[in-house]
Structure 1
Amino acid sequence: MVAMGRQNAFPFPAPARPTMTSRSARLAAALIALCAVVGVGFGFAAVFGRTGSVPVAAWIMAAYFTNLTGLLVFAVFGGIALRVPALAQPRLVATTVLATLLVGLVQRLLLYGLRTLRGGDLIGDILLHQALPVLVPLFWLVFVPKGRLALRDLLLFASYPLVYLGYTLLRGAYDARYPYPFLDIGKIGWGPVAAYAGAIAAAFLGVGWALVRLDRRLARRRLAAG
Structure 2
Amino acid sequence: MPTPRTMTSRSARLATSLIALCAAVGVGFGFSAVFGRTGSVPLTAWIMAAYFTNLTGLLVLAVFGGIALRVPALSQPRLVATTVLATLLVGLVQRLLLYGVRTLRGGDLVGDILLHQVLPVLVPLFWLAFVPKGRLAGRDLALFASYPLIYLGYTLLRGAYDARYPYPFLDVGKIGWGPVAAYAGAIAAAFLGVGWALVLLDRRLARRRAVAG
| TM-score bracket, shorter-length normalisation | over 0.9
Q: What does the per-residue CA deviation read over 1:114-150, in whole Å, with 9 as the maximum and x for residues that have no partner?
A: 0000000000000000000000000000000000000
- Amino acid of the residue matched to residue 155 of structure 1? A
Q: Percent identity?
A: 90
Q: What does the per-residue CA deviation read over 1:168-210, in whole Å, with 9 as the maximum and x for residues that have no partner?
A: 0000000000000000000000000000000000000000000
Residue 174 (1) aligns with residue 161 (2): yes
Distance 1:189 1:31 in 2: 41
- What does 1:14-163 align with in structure 2 at a 5 Å threshold? 19-163=6-150
Structure of higher CA gyration radius: 1
- Amino acid of the residue matched to residue 83 of structure 1? R
* Unpaired segments ≥5 residues, structure 1: 1-17
Residue 204 (1) aligns with residue 187 (2): no
* Unpaired segments ≥5 residues, structure 2: none
Q: Normalised by the size of structure 2, how large is the TM-score?
A: 0.98
Task: Please name the residue that 1:12 is paired with.
Answer: none
Moved over 4 A (4+): none
Q: What does the per-residue CA deviation read over 1:67-123, in whole Å, with 9 as the maximum and x for residues that have no partner?
A: 000000000000000000000010010001000000000000000000000000000
Q: Normalised by the size of structure 1, how large is the TM-score?
A: 0.92
Distance 2:199 2:159 in 1: 34
- Amino acid of the residue matched to residue 116 of structure 2? H
